[in-house]
Amino acid sequence: MVLYHTILCTLLFYVNCDDSLEKRILMSDPDYINQQMTHLQGELQSLQAKVQSQEAKLQTQSAELHTLQNLQSTVQAQTNEISSLKQQLVQANSDGGGSTFVRWGRMDCPANLTELVYSGYAGGSYSGHSGAAADPLCLPPDPQWLDTTVVPDTYTGHIYGAEYESVNANTLFGPKSHDEEVPCAVCRSTSFVSSVMIPARTTCYSGWTKAYGGSLSSGYYAQTATSQYVCVDEHAQPVVGGADRNDIGVLFYGVKAFCGSLRCPPYEPDKFIACVVCMK
């Protein structure tokens, strides 16, 4: 048994010695070293390629991140703008409308739709003046004057009162209203934000609400002064306590259709033109 053990140990010793000797021989072999170096260089190149690929991906992701940040800034700016517009809309709705218009021929405003800003007297330029202003004004009954002193000057504009006018005693603006002074009222809508005067209509188009209707009015076509079309209320009234005399000034006449360049039909000659003020 002891002999067997001794022989086994001796064989193992020689085997181990042979392995070490083989390794020493391989490490001193130039071909083996070159193979190992070539292998290591291949692995290094592979790693370098992977690093370059990762760097390229990182640059792409960085560019994408920059684009997303710019997009986020744009979206934020648009969000802020939308929020501002919503606030303005809420404010407009909370204010309850805001459209204003003049109701000619009345000193009150349409009930339940508008509120009275002020009432007063229609006025404007003299109908016979060639330098007259075209638009009539709704003059308040409580004027305030400039606190200034100027040298008297004849080169000025003039303002006069307004009268209902017709060659007949009865006019579109009520019986015996000829030469009566014209009242007016400035009205503000409590529910609507826009208003429009539509000539040749007694009703509003779909989606619009009627404030009042009446007769289209302007100056006499042969007079010197330029005039403007306005809508006089169908239930026109004179100024309470006003003068019933022919002072001229601004004259409110009815308006008739005159065919030619005006298409007839649908318009018809010698008919008075209606009007309506609509809100939305």
Q: For the chain, give the percent of residues with pLDDT over 70.
A: 81
Burial (CB count <10 Å: 0-12, 13-18, 19+), residue 275: buried
- How many other CB atoms sit within 10 Å of the CB of residue 252? 29
- In this structure, the chain runs to a length of 280
pLDDT at 37 over 60: yes
pLDDT score of 27 more than 60: no
Q: How confident is the model at residue 196 (pLDDT cuts 50, 70, 90)?
A: very high
Question: Which are the contacts of 197, defined by CB distance < 8 A and separation ≥ 6?
Answer: 101, 230, 231, 275, 276, 277, 278
Helix (H, G, I), strand (E, B) or coil at 220: coil
What pLDDT shows up at residue 3? 42
Q: How many CA atoms lie within 13 A of 71 on its CB side?
A: 6
pLDDT digits (tens, 9 = 90+) for 216-227: 999 888 888 888
Residue 40 tokens, joined: 């290591």
pLDDT for the residue numbered 97: 64
Average pLDDT over residues 98-121: 92
Q: Is the pLDDT of residue 183 over 50?
A: yes
Task: Enumerate residues 6+ apart whose C-beta is below 8 A from 140.
Answer: 118, 120
Q: Write the pLDDT tens digit of every residue in 111-121.
A: 888 999 999 99
* 115 contact partners, CB below 8 Å, separation of at least 6: 109, 187, 188, 190
pLDDT score recorded for residue 16: 47
pLDDT band per the 50, 70, 90 thresholds, residue 170 = low
Q: Of 25, 186, 174, 170, whose CA–CA distance to 103 is shortest? A: 186
Domain boundaries, the chain: 2-95, 96-141+157-280
Please state the separation of Cα 20 from the chain's center in Å: 93
Provide the pLDDT for residue 100.
Answer: 92
Residue 240, pLDDT score: 81
Nearest of 133, 103, 123, 143 to residue 236 by alpha carbon: 103
**Which of these, 127, 157, 123, lies nearest to 226 by C-alpha position?**
127
Return the H-helix or E-strand segment holding 268: none
pTM over 0.85: no
Contact 79, 167 (CB under 8 A): no
